[in-house]
Structure 1
Amino acid sequence: MKQLLLSVVAGIAVAAWGNNLFPEDTDFETGTQNFRYYRSAEPIRTVSGDAASGNSSLEIDSAVSWAHGRWGYAIRKDTDYTVSFSARRVSGGDTIAFALIGVLDWKQVGFTQFRLTDEWRRYRCRIRTDRAGTVLYPAFLPQGEIVFRIDAIQLEEGSEATPYRHSEAFSIFPSVNGAGSVVHTPEIPRLAVNAFNAGVPPEGQPFTLRVGVPGTEIRRERSFRLEKGKTAVMEFELAEAAEPGYYPAEVEVLDNAGRTVKSSAAPFVVTAPFPPPSREGFFGMQDSSLPQSVLPRIGVSYLRSGFTVWKAMEPREGEFREYAFLPPPELFWHPTIQSEFTPGRVPAWGCKPGSTQADPAKAALFMEQLFRQLRGKTEYLDFINEPDLELRNMPDGAEYYGELLKTAAPIARKYGIRLLAGVSGNRSDFTEKVLTEAHSSIDILGPHPYCSPRSIAADGRYCAPPEQGEFAGSMRYHSELARKYGKEFLIGELGYSLEESIPFHAPEAHRHAAWLARMFLIARSYPECRRLVWFTGLDRWEGGPFLYGIWRTENGIRPLPAVAACAQAAHEIDRADAAELLLDGDIKLLRLRRGNHTSYAVWDSGGKPEKTALRELPAGAAPRSIYGTAVRPGEAAITEAPLYLSENAAGTVLAALLRAIDSRPPLTVRAWLRERNHLKLEVKNRSFSDWKGTVAIPGVLQATILAVPRQSAETVTVKTAAAIPAAFAVKLAGENGKEYRNPVELPAPFEIPKLAVSDLEKFDFVSKLNGPGSIVQQTREHLFPPDPSIPWSGPADLSHRTLLGWDEENLYIFSEVRDDMHRNRNPDHAAWRGDSIQIGIDSHNDADGRNSYGSDDTEFTFALNKKPWNHHAPPTRRTPAEASGVRQFITRSEESGTTVYRIAIPRKLLAPLKLKPGTVFGAALCFNDADEGKVRRYMTFGGGIADRKCPALFQKAVLAE
């Protein structure tokens, strides 16, 4: 994680200057930018003129919420650390609690209570953990109602606190027009730079302050001096940035020798103002530590916020507490009951006799109290977040959820609250069972149709665009269910995560924005879909260094390009009367109508988006970018980022768009090897006219006749006379005499040797590990998730040497896996959750562009003392099921810390895969390590198997002699 990595680096770097391991301004002299409130309507604030150190301190009102710092540090296992801070009471009670927390799992370390006085005093607590590489953050947790102030926070190694020292010699905090850095036109952006000099002497001055916005001509520079221990505020008016758009400003302070003293990103968004939030609004946001007052500034009307209530509201059976549910003042609040009815979390006295499930009668008493207090404060209640996942391990999970809904519905309706079923985006019989049994108790269907894979990473790994993955299929599936049962339909969660090491102005950050906008537009094309909730406002890690928030904490709350894209999408599609998808090929064209106004959104969703110029747009089209920036005449183009256009004269813009789209070369080609000399070609006709002609590969394939209707694709499998090279050109000659050439590159397949295995248990595979078919993975770069906070001490912690092979009867896996701790207490069908090996096979090597298993694909799991399991198989066999017929010898040596797998998968379980020389297929292996109390880790050969099934990412393999 970038923030976490920066924290570690900063902690090491400042050791020579001070002893404070927390980075940045821990004294609040430049502001509160690295502290967060939860569920706060407004940003937290500093108080000037009252401090233990310097001039400013942070004030916390625990009646509002609790707060935690965003300075993280990776503390070492079994090592003493000390946190010290200054604090004083202002009003209310006198007790606070402090702990370090890990925001990935919210576990607390060093929880300590303190009794404050009205005078500034220094407090300290000892920190020690047995978790290696744990990145922790300082948190102040509410202990009753108290207003207090804190200052001068310090983390240091050792069991004693030393006098406070600043973390860095010079601090800056740039901000643009307040929290969230969203500016509404016609306001002029004003960049204010708060600076604090903790330790740069006069001989290093004067300083030079530079401000710039990459991609523009905006530049500012100012010379200044600042005494040690003093603060200053310097402001710049940026009139050139007063038009809608995304402005990734950067600020840098240099000393008199030209060396960088401190730098910081300061991106901001400029957009037109929005009317007050409306219940007809389309856009919602999951709650986060982002100040809620920021959300209406980008067109958000709804806030989805989870809360935990049963045990807190009814601490003892029949004794109910009153809770002050305060909806956000500027937003419509839609609360979520997260997991109050999940077995294991239900109060013991609230369970059915001899069960961990909630007793409906006792649950009804709790819900009576809850819904009564929510009356008039919310429109609907999200009744258990993703119940199909929360209850998936219960044989009767759907029936149990339906029973709870039937109990809750009459109580909710009595108090004017409608119930929403917020299922995950996965297709399952759970949702259909619930709708069949309890549809009359559900008012709204709100699935979470995430894409998959959905992490945009700096290393270029595959991430599914909105039109692929599971998003489009989930939208179709759930909208059809909503129509069938007459339910309102909304999106309860969706999102992409962006690796936090990616700079604000990087191509990946702009792709993140483009895909977000495309999700919005696709969702709006479903007339049943009335609302959409993005997950989430600020930060929120998942699966390693990936953040869902469209704002990011980086020396303050900073907007990503996605914030500007969200704001402009809200301007374009919010409260539209109708939305119609006119083109649904590689070019998507959405027509939006509102009253007498017509507008369009157009983008390229192809695997390798092209830039299609729009040179003949009529006057009045007013092309504008994804960020709302006016596009100059003659520069408009269709790219992967949606382009918005208006239409004043009926049909003129649409006609110009269609002409430009139809002017592209009409045919594209994709190719797959089926065998060494068998090639499958997909020829796609993206024009508005039918095509007929011949397909040929010079020197490899003679001309073959092919007809491809307009806006469709045809495939042909051919046997070639010569070996198929890795790169070649496909020649397409139409009957009209026009010829096209499409270059094609085929990935080199991994060679799997033929083996003579007479005795599976005794076969000497180790001697063959340096030859064909061998895979060795033993470095951290092979470890997933690629999260530096996940511990890995070396090859003995997880690594493997593996040999793949085949003969006419079996596909073989021989593997020696090193792992110092072998654990797998899962049932056979879930053995993949523990230490195990998985293999996925794309039998026909035809999954290019597909993000889910097809009918010819299969997947197996193998684990010590578990039955081999077939999780996905062709439809001729029951799936999932025990992989009967697999031969396996799996042994474990605790002395050497190795597990040896010897596996033979018979031909009958692999069909339609042909075990013969020259067969080409896709394959992926996953080596799972799931030690107790630790995040699941794994190594993979080929992608697309570990978390989400994406056979397009499998390694291409060929059966060699």
Structure 2
Amino acid sequence: MADGQEELSQESGLAVVVKPQLYPKCDPDSYFGTCTADLGPESMFRLGCSAVQYPAVWKYFETNPDEYHWSWIPGACREVKERGGRLLLKLQPRPPDWAAWKVEGKPNLAGYPSPEHMQDWQDFVHDVVEQVKGDIYRIEVDNEPDLSEWLHPGLTLEEGAELYYQLLKAAYAGAKTADPNCVVAGLGVSGSDYHGGLKFCRAVLEKDPKLVDLFSGHPYAFVRYYGPDQKPTGPEENGQAALCQAAFEMLEEFGKPRRMWIGELGWALNVNSPVLSDYSLDFAATVAQSLMIGYVSGVETYLWFSQYGCNEGGHEYGLFRGRPAYALPAACAYSTCARMIDRTTVAGPVNLGGNIRAWRFDGNRQDQSVMALWTVAGSARLVCQLPSDARIVNSFGRNLPTAKTVELDLGRMPVYIAVPLSQAKELAEKIAQAELKVKDPLKLNHAYLASRQELHIVISNQINKDISVRLQVANQKKSFVIKPGTENVPITLRNAPTGDLDIQVDSEFGRQTKTLTVDLLPINYLKTIHIDGDVGEMEALKPMVLTERRDVLPADPGIPWSGPEDLSVRAWLGYDAENLYFAARITDDTHVVDREDYIGFWESDSIQLALDPENDSQNDYNRDDVEIGLVSGKDQVLVYMTAPDRKPITAQASIKRTGTETVYEAAIPWGELGIEPPQPGKVMALNFIVNDNDGQGRLYWMGLTPGIAEGKNPGRYCQWVFGK
């Protein structure tokens, strides 16, 4: 521009949504809520939300004993109550300094009240509830206690469960004394506990299940960022419905009613992704899909995380962003979902094949039956006749054209078809009879070797009728019928050769081909190995050598790696019927271990080892995949499992430091890994990385391939075959 001026551009957004039917009042029985309302609750009320949760941390309200600074709490409670909504206070027991638990050598315990001040925590909860009695719906005791009371302070499972039990017991007594009708929610555990079998929840419930009126877990996916170079795990891939079912079954085991809130759940969008980018639209689709999966699973209320912000590494969870704040497409998706399905009865799914989801909801506030449709991946066209009074609404809330016969384009963003309740059965029948048009009715998804003699081919039928298939691999031929959905087809091989393996699939829809490159590294069977810091027994094997710039991760030329003397690796693998063996000689000019706990050990000089036992995973870990870590503790070598569970494991291990060399050795029992001892010919995907901390935290690492530290991606790991 003239005069040396620069043009300034700024993105914003405006969302127009249909006014909720009861607005400006809220629906007190709504399913839809939010964890935070940093912008104030008004914008969420306009989206159809009725439940708002605020955190309240003890130390900010009682800096001196019995001297309270109530600040925003009374006003916020009254504001929500007057609108007919439900306010939920998450009371977090981070104590004021005078009540902190100060134990020499355990600084992390300072984040909890000492045993002699547990009564003060109880009194605080009592006084909060007394202050806002009648204006709050429930309280919740702490956030993600499996992390807060167990993993983050580095306690054992029993110690962590006991700590949370004492906090919960005190809070329950305080709340019920102030208001016997106050609902006490608890066990709002993270995705880690869900994916680990809810063991922390069970350890607490075994002490006294009566202390939890309402279960409020957070069934997060481990990978949840949308943006460049990200491969998020969506709600279906995360098994959200199964995680909810597991929670219900646990509650029944302990004699509790099947009553559950999703106390927090969300995904996050890259802050630099444009409002209408594919990343933003995928984020919006995930919001709506996750809300509906929770609803059909029987969840009572879902608190989306979050209304605004919460930046994690350049990704934000909010439905709104920016300053001044503006709405994202995700806000429209939330609003439309709330308008279409809230207060309905789930009538069930309609089977349209493996790639289409169709759920029927009957009896919303407009006395309608609603069919929600979306694709798991890609796009499809639904050709069908509709009842005469049908109305089609997209996730932006816009009405789409209707006709006697419609061709409806489907994608990951849900589309809703609404009819008067009297036409519900007719709509379901017409949808079930619809014709599906997809680019690839039959999709060859994935192929992998389970052993040298066994190939698996994963094929999806993406329409709502059976497809006859002819499959050819090398000299093997097989004919079969694939029903709608996805099938894993095993093929027996004589012995998978090194090189390219061509796969050919023929059907009425044409031919698809795939080439699987077979490049298997050997893991030798070892007869006698001693874990003593001397890797001489392993050095007869061919080593894995990492000494080049290309071995440094992340692949960023700005990483301050100065050469092999800074960090380089020679490593070996072996096995027998009892153990997986790992050994490495690490050259590292500076050895730093400033964290040894199993949450943060990777920030120190350490090893991480990942295994995909069936060699079948792609962009994220499956349930059977395992990750472990080795780090030098103050008194002993520590070996941890970090996936699928987080816990110490029992293994023989040695770490010896001499000069600038560190020698790692470990014999890790297959039983500790939860893996069947492999037979000769078995194929497994495996990777490891060596983390480097030179006094400034982990700045980089070396590894065989990416896929551990950057984000879990077993599809990139080297494949290994077990020898005789």
Measured against aligned partners, the alpha-carbon deviations of 1:224-276 in whole angstroms (never above 9, x if no partner) come to xxxxxxxxxxxxxxxxxxxxxxxxxxxxxxx9xxx862211122111111222
Q: Which residue of 2 aligns with 1:558?
A: 326
Q: 20, 31, 36: which is aligned to 1:287?
A: 36
RCO (CA 8 Å, sep 6+): is it higher in 1 or 2?
2
1:645 aligns with 2:417: yes
Q: Supply the AA of the counterpart residue of 2:56.
A: F
Whether the 8 Å CA contact 1:923–1:942 is kept in 2: the answer is no
Distance in 2 (CA, whole Å) between partners of 1:703 and 1:458 is 40
Cα distance change of structure 1 residues 440 and 761 upon mapping to structure 2, 3 Å threshold:
closer
Tell me how far 1:319 sits from its aligned partner: 5.2
Q: Which residue of 1 aligns with 2:374?
A: 603
Tell me how far 1:518 sits from its aligned partner: 0.6
Q: Supply the AA of the counterpart residue of 1:363.
A: W
Q: Which residue of 2 aligns with 1:172?
A: none
Q: Which residue of 1 aligns with 2:232?
A: 463
Which residues in structure 2 correspond to 1:794-873 (within 5 Å)?
794-795=561-562, 800-806=567-573, 812-814=582-584, 816=586, 818=588, 820=590, 822-824=592-594, 826=596, 831-832=601-602, 834-848=604-618, 851-854=621-624, 857-864=625-632, 866-867=636-637, 869=639, 871=641
Q: Which residue of 2 aligns with 1:402?
A: 165
Q: Which residue of 2 aligns with 1:233?
A: none
Which residues in structure 2 correspond to 1:381-396 (within 5 Å)?
381-392=139-150, 393=155, 395-396=158-159
Tell me how far 1:514 sits from its aligned partner: 0.7
Q: Supply the AA of the counterpart residue of 2:329.
A: P
Tell me how far 1:378 sits from its aligned partner: 0.8
Tell me how far 1:619 sits from its aligned partner: 4.7
1:695 aligns with 2:444: no
Distance in 1 (CA, whole Å) between partners of 2:566 and 2:390 is 58
1:569 aligns with 2:315: no
Measured against aligned partners, the alpha-carbon deviations of 1:124-182 in whole angstroms (never above 9, x if no partner) come to xxxxxxxxxxxxxxxxxxxxxxxxxxxxxxxxxxxxxxxxxxxxxxxxxxxxxxxxxxx
Which residues in structure 2 correspond to 1:159-308 (within 5 Å)?
261-274=7-20, 275=23, 276-308=25-57
Cα distance change of structure 1 residues 817 and 326 upon mapping to structure 2, 3 Å threshold:
farther
Distance in 1 (CA, whole Å) between partners of 2:492 and 2:293 is 37
Q: Which residue of 2 aligns with 1:420?
A: 185
Larger radius of gyration: 1
Whether the 8 Å CA contact 1:675–1:920 is kept in 2: the answer is yes
Q: Secondary structure at the match of 1:838?
A: strand
Cα distance change of structure 1 residues 266 and 373 upon mapping to structure 2, 3 Å threshold:
same
Cα distance change of structure 1 residues 668 and 540 upon mapping to structure 2, 3 Å threshold:
same
Q: Supply the AA of the counterpart residue of 1:469.
A: N
Q: Which residue of 1 aligns with 2:74?
A: 325
Q: 924, 929, 952: which is aligned to 2:687?
A: 924
Q: Secondary structure at the match of 1:925?
A: strand
Tell me how far 1:458 sits from its aligned partner: 0.8
Q: Supply the AA of the counterpart residue of 1:900.
A: T
Query: 758-767 vs 668-677, which deviates more?
Result: 758-767
Query: 592-601 vs 819-828, which deviates more?
Result: 819-828
Tell me how far 1:303 sits from its aligned partner: 1.8
Whether the 8 Å CA contact 1:576–1:593 is kept in 2: the answer is yes
Distance in 2 (CA, whole Å) between partners of 1:773 and 1:661 is 54
Which residues in structure 2 correspond to 1:770-789 (within 5 Å)?
773-775=544-546, 778=549, 782-783=553-554
Tell me how far 1:310 sits from its aligned partner: 5.0
Q: Secondary structure at the match of 1:412?
A: helix
Which residues in structure 2 correspond to 1:312-461 (within 5 Å)?
312-313=61-62, 315-316=64-65, 318=66, 325-327=74-76, 329-330=79-80, 331-340=85-94, 346=100, 356-357=114-115, 359-392=117-150, 393=155, 395-413=158-176, 414-415=178-179, 416-421=181-186, 422-425=188-191, 426-427=193-194, 428-459=198-229, 461=230
Tell me how far 1:721 sits from its aligned partner: 7.1
Tell me how far 1:525 sits from its aligned partner: 0.6
1:956 aligns with 2:718: yes
Which residues in structure 2 correspond to 1:569-718 (within 5 Å)?
569-578=337-346, 580-583=348-351, 585-594=354-363, 596-606=367-377, 609-614=378-383, 616-617=385-386, 619-632=388-401, 634=406, 636-648=408-420, 649-660=423-434, 667-669=442-444, 670-675=446-451, 678-685=454-461, 694-697=470-473, 700-706=474-480, 711=485, 713-718=487-492
Distance in 1 (CA, whole Å) between partners of 2:501 and 2:342 is 47
Q: Supply the AA of the counterpart residue of 1:263.
A: S
Tell me how far 1:647 sits from its aligned partner: 3.0
Q: Which residue of 1 aligns with 2:263?
A: 492
Cα distance change of structure 1 residues 825 and 639 upon mapping to structure 2, 3 Å threshold:
closer
Distance in 2 (CA, whole Å) between partners of 1:520 and 1:437 is 32
Measured against aligned partners, the alpha-carbon deviations of 1:87-141 in whole angstroms (never above 9, x if no partner) come to xxxxxxxxxxxxxxxxxxxxxxxxxxxxxxxxxxxxxxxxxxxxxxxxxxxxxxx
Tell me how far 1:447 sits from its aligned partner: 0.6
Distance in 2 (CA, whole Å) between partners of 1:931 and 1:290 is 41
Q: 244, 250, 260: which is aligned to 1:481?
A: 250
Q: Secondary structure at the match of 1:437?
A: coil
Q: Which residue of 1 aligns with 2:307?
A: 537
For normalisation by structure 2, the TM-score amounts to 0.79
Q: Supply the AA of the counterpart residue of 1:731.
A: V
Q: Which residue of 1 aligns with 2:106?
A: none
Tell me how far 1:288 sits from its aligned partner: 5.0
Measured against aligned partners, the alpha-carbon deviations of 1:396-448 in whole angstroms (never above 9, x if no partner) come to 33234334433333442342421111222323222123334332232211111
Distance in 2 (CA, whole Å) between partners of 1:572 and 1:363 is 43
Q: Secondary structure at the match of 1:624?
A: strand
Which residues in structure 2 correspond to 1:746-757 (within 5 Å)?
746=516, 749=519, 751=521
Measured against aligned partners, the alpha-carbon deviations of 1:822-865 in whole angstroms (never above 9, x if no partner) come to 114526898546321010111331234763441xx444322346
Distance in 1 (CA, whole Å) between partners of 2:655 and 2:515 is 40
Q: Supply the AA of the counterpart residue of 1:570.
A: A
Q: Secondary structure at the match of 1:406?
A: helix
Cα distance change of structure 1 residues 908 and 380 upon mapping to structure 2, 3 Å threshold:
closer
Distance in 2 (CA, whole Å) between partners of 1:819 and 1:379 is 58
Q: Secondary structure at the match of 1:518?
A: helix
Q: Secondary structure at the match of 2:207?
A: helix
Tell me how far 1:599 sits from its aligned partner: 0.7
Q: Supply the AA of the counterpart residue of 1:304.
A: Q
Distance in 1 (CA, whole Å) between partners of 2:320 and 2:551 is 30
Q: Which residue of 2 aligns with 1:70?
A: none
Measured against aligned partners, the alpha-carbon deviations of 1:4-45 in whole angstroms (never above 9, x if no partner) come to xxxxxxxxxxxxxxxxxxxxxxxxxxxxxxxxxxxxxxxxxx
Distance in 2 (CA, whole Å) between partners of 1:454 and 1:801 is 32
Cα distance change of structure 1 residues 828 and 549 upon mapping to structure 2, 3 Å threshold:
closer
Whether the 8 Å CA contact 2:593–2:632 is kept in 1: the answer is no
Identity %: 19
Distance in 2 (CA, whole Å) between partners of 1:678 and 1:694 is 18
CA RMSD of aligned residues (A): 4.5
Measured against aligned partners, the alpha-carbon deviations of 1:317-348 in whole angstroms (never above 9, x if no partner) come to x5556666222625532111123369996477
Distance in 2 (CA, whole Å) between partners of 1:936 and 1:370 is 44
Q: 268, 282, 286: which is aligned to 1:511?
A: 282
Q: Secondary structure at the match of 2:264?
A: coil
Q: Secondary structure at the match of 1:326?
A: helix
Q: Supply the AA of the counterpart residue of 2:232.
A: C
1:743 aligns with 2:501: no
Distance in 2 (CA, whole Å) between partners of 1:720 and 1:579 is 49
Cα distance change of structure 1 residues 432 and 837 upon mapping to structure 2, 3 Å threshold:
same
Distance in 2 (CA, whole Å) between partners of 1:750 and 1:799 is 30
Whether the 8 Å CA contact 1:684–1:712 is kept in 2: the answer is yes
Tell me how far 1:693 sits from its aligned partner: 6.2
